[in-house]
Amino acid sequence: MTTITNTKPAGPVTPAGRRDPRAVWRRRLRSLRGTAGRLVIVVALGAVLEWAVASGRISQVQLPRPTDMLRALVEGLLDGHYLRLLGVTLAETGVAFTAAAVVGTTLGYLLWRRPILGRAYEPALYALASAPIVLLYPVLLVVFGRNPVAVTVLGFLAGLLPVLITTFQAFQRLNPTYLKVARVMRLTDRQAFLRVLLPAAMPSVVVGLRLGLTFTLLNVLGMEYLAGIGGVGSEISLAYTRLRSDEMYGALVLSIALSVAFLLLLNRLTERVMRR
């Protein structure tokens, strides 16, 4: 491929890569600029709020000083309380997602192997994917009681559909030539699946898994808050009822950090898988 942006006809050629090191630096600088800009925005916002609360323009009850929030967050982390909450949330998410991944990919594949089922139920799956699954939480409370199991089941349900649908689509959109190639090479079903179909479908399946994990975490946190059970999400609800707004905001920052950390982690992982 032609690389337009960083070709320098007369410039020195680096032995290792052909990339111009100055261009790499420029790119790095630009991404640094973005990060710095965002940092400035967040810090400025924090400073404005700090000032607004300190000067009494916003009541302490509605919004503690950002510094107090951070103190609550750090204290919570240090005395192990938040770590326990994080543990519960991560455990729920982990179990729910693992189950969703196993069941979703299997069902998605089976649905494709039986085209009649796939065609019959595909619209229903899409419809369910746009349904407000999280509102089932009272049902799960009734069935499983007020405990982390109920949260886990909701996380499983929420993660299941995207995984299932994308797996089904991944196989369905496989280039038909792959199937022909497998046939021409006289591969057995098993070989064809392991050596041709699966590798070919993998990138899309990974996208589905990523989506599933995001949904699972969203729903776990959401239900924890709504039902007041489980980990980080429930802490927000409890602190609110205790009228401890600094603790509430601390837990809020914690759950935002958790979501963002997941996003960044997933970006890294999928980048790695996709790069192959």
Partner 1 sequence: MTVPAAALDPGTRSNRPARAPSLSRVRLAGVLGVLVLWEAAATLFARLATADFFPHLWTLAAAYGEVFSSRFATDVALTGYELFWGLLFGIGSGLLLGLALGLNHFAREIVEPLLVYLGTVPKIVLYPVLLLFLTVGVESKIAMAALSTFFPVVLHTITAATEVRPLWLSAARVLRASALQRLRYVYLPAMAPSVYSGIRLGIAAGIIGTLMAETKAAQGGVGYRVIYYYSQYDIPEMYAVLILVFVFSIALASVLGWIGRRLRLSDSDPAEEGALL
Partner 2 sequence: MSTMTDHRTHTTGALVVDNVSKSFRGDGGLGEPVPALGNVSLQVDHGEFVSLIGPSGCGKSTLINIAAGLVGDYDGAVRIHGDRVTTPHPGIGMVFQEESTFPWLTTQQNVEFGLRMSGVSAKERRDQARDMIELVGLGNAAERYPAKLSGGMRQRVALARALVMEPEILLMDEPFAALDEQTRMVLGEELLRIQSKLQQTVVFVTHNLGEAVQLSDRVVAMTARPATIKAIVEVDLPRPRDSSIVSSPRYGELVAELWSLLRDEAIAALGERERG
Residues 9-48 within binding reach of partner 2 (CB under 8 A) = 9, 11, 13, 18, 23, 26-27, 30
* Least gap, CB of 41 to partner 1 (angstroms): 7
Cβ atoms 166, 108 nearer than 8 A: yes
* 188 backbone dihedrals φ, ψ, rounded to 5°: -75, 165
Q: Which does 208 bind (CB under 5 to 8 A by kind): partner 2, partner 1, none?
A: partner 1
Q: Could you tell which of partner 1, partner 2, none binds residue 2, using a CB distance below 5 to 8 A set by kind? A: partner 2
Per-residue DSSP letter, 123: H
Segment interacting with partner 1, rule: CB under 8 A, options 47-55, 83-91, 93-101, 209-217: 209-217
Q: Candidates 4-12, 35-43, 96-104, 260-268 — which segment interacts with partner 2 by CB under 8 A?
A: 4-12
5 near partner 2 (CB under 8 A): yes
What residues contact residue 263 under an 8 Å CB cut-off, 6+ apart?
214
Nearer to partner 2, 24 or 102 (CB): 24
User: Which residues lie closer than 8 Å to 195 by C-beta, 6 or more apart?
Assistant: 182, 187
Count of residues interacting with partner 2 (CB under 8 A): 15
Residue 218 interacting entry, from partner 2, partner 1, none, C-beta within 5 to 8 Å by type: partner 1
Q: Is 132 in the site for partner 1 (CB under 8 A)?
A: yes
CB of 226 to partner 1, least distance (A): 6
**DSSP per residue, 187-233:** --HHHIIIIIIHHHHHHHHHHHHHHHHHHHHHHHHHHHHHHT-SSHH
Q: Which is nearer to partner 1, 18 or 142 (CB)?
A: 142
Give dist(CA 143, CA 273) in Å, integer: 39
Which of partner 1, partner 2, none interacts with 27 (beta carbon under 5 to 8 A by kind)?
A: partner 2
Q: Which of 76, 155, 208, 250 is the binder for partner 1 (CB under 8 A)?
A: 208
User: What is the distance between the alpha carbons of residues 10 and 67, in angstroms, rounded to a whole number?
Assistant: 54
Binding flag, residue 225, partner 1 (CB under 8 A): yes
Burial of 149-170, coded b for 16+ CB within 10 Å and e otherwise, reads bbbbbbbbbbbbbbbbbbbbbb
Count of CB atoms situated within 10 Å of the CB of 83? 12
The option from partner 1, partner 2, none interacting with 34 (CB < 5 to 8 A, set by class) reads: partner 1
Residue 11 binds what, of partner 2, partner 1, none (CB under 5 to 8 Å, by partner type)? partner 2
Strand spans (E) along 39-139? none
Contacting positions for partner 2 (CB under 8 A): 2-9, 11, 13, 18, 23, 26-27, 30
